[in-house]
Chain A
């Protein structure tokens, strides 16, 4: 078991190095992409700040500081998952061109090869900036002890697990329907709803964003842990939802692989 983990870690690092050197080779483009990604985050932040700084009331325990924290946690989560799962964005071309055949014949888990081998250094840089901003913001505005931090990390990992489940499901969908990009786009759009606190929404949407498309709960619980509004019930829901969707996505992936006809090759 440990040998397998070490093997895959080494493999991941080797692919990450390759991906990093590609970005370093295309320096000009990489700088533009980096500026674009940062601009996107800054524009979104400016918009949210402009809207929520005009709210006079504290909504269910959420003032401006809590909303900024929410924004930072959300963006860190999204950026880190895009850093890790970037290769999913190229998955459709693998299916359409038939190059998925080569992946399937290698003595490495195809799920690993398709999901984790395209780490994007630009997303990593943005993630590092976001994590730094998050750390400074927490340090300046919230009092958290080590237990709270530990609980936050556990919730964050559970949230990442859900993100992984989504990207695995997208690949499985891609094998069957040859479509990936719009599905990721739809998910990104829905994620937009998770950019503001779950408690702002009407109960029906809170339910949908918790159980049906749980993008709301995966951001809400880690943030609520930090600001002291969390409940044990929500942590249990997050755990169950993450494990359930992760398991479901693995089943869907296996099913899709069985359906793969290699028609394009």
Chain B
């Protein structure tokens, strides 16, 4: 708890030090909602239904997926790559607290901040643009939705961790991060519902682990998937989580043997 509180204080002071940066960051998020609202409004002016979504459903999708994206994709774990490359990891290795505890604490604080601000932004947006959001699903659906969301958060953390740990072998982690960012964001359903894609492409993208991050929880919350299939998909999602957990553990162990703190 102490680690968490310290990380919380550090994050707040970091945000307050670069206030313009912070304000523009949040403004950008709000703008994102506004832009997608206009984009979909323009498209739905000329057609009532696109794929499996009518106007109301697509508004619901982009607003809720915006919130989920803020929750799932907010991450500080990439700092680990910088620690490894700069040799700063040595300092953390001799700390009485595990470096992973610190990273997880920062990650949680970052997510908490994102969620708080996202809720305010979404509520403001929904109020200003008079968008109606209805969520109606059973208790079991709620449980399976939460499990899907947790699997998404864990999966993104371990994918990100695996990429950051590449820092043990290369100085340029930024390039793999860039490409993974593009692919993950593009195929996670964060920008658009994946079933809007042509059928053959949808099948390919849906088989990738990234669809678990946003698209699967959205499918559940919008009742676009039956309960049995949702349970199966969430179970598969946890298999992906385990695989990436195993990969990152393996990389950490191998990487530590390779680590020479040459950046110091």
Contact = CB atoms under 8 A, between A and B. Distances in A.
A26 B172 contact: yes
B168 to A, nearest CB: 16
Contact of B25 (A54, A56, A182, A190): A182
A55 B186 contact: no
B46 A59 contact: yes
Interface size class of B (residues with CB under 8 A): 35 or more
Interface stretch (A45-53, A124-132, A242-250): A45-53
Given A29-B174, A179-B24, A196-B42, A46 B201 contact: yes
Contact of A55 (B35, B46, B170, B187): B46
Nearest to A178: B20
B192 A47 contact: yes
A112 interface: no
Nearest to A42: B186
B179 A32 contact: yes
A49 to B, nearest CB: 8
A51 B43 CA distance: 8
B242 interface: no
Nearest to A183: B24
Contact of A39 (B18, B24, B179, B201): B179
B183 A39 contact: yes
A92 to B, nearest CB: 10
Contacts, number: 102
A53 to B, nearest CB: 8
Contact of B186 (A33, A39, A50, A178): A39
Interface in A154-211: 177-179, 181-183, 185-186, 189-190, 192-193, 196, 200-202, 205
B21 interface: yes
B28 A185 contact: yes
B197 interface: yes
Contacts of A59: 46
Nearest to A52: B43
Contacts of A192: 35, 39
Nearest to B40: A51
Given A29-B174, A32-B176, A32-B178, A40 B186 contact: yes
A212 interface: no
A28 interface: yes
B97 interface: no
Interface string B27-65: 110011001001101110111001100000000000000
18 contacts: A32-B175, A32-B178, A33-B175, A46-B201, A47-B192, A47-B196, A51-B196, A54-B50, A57-B46, A57-B47, A179-B24, A182-B24, A185-B28, A190-B31, A192-B39, A200-B42, A201-B42, A202-B41
Interface of B: 18, 20-21, 24-25, 27-28, 31-32, 35, 38-39, 41-43, 45-47, 50-51, 170, 172, 174-176, 178-179, 181-183, 186-187, 191-192, 196-198, 201
Given A33-B179, A40-B182, A47-B196, 7 more contacts: A28-B175, A35-B179, A54-B47, A55-B46, A179-B20, A201-B42, A202-B42
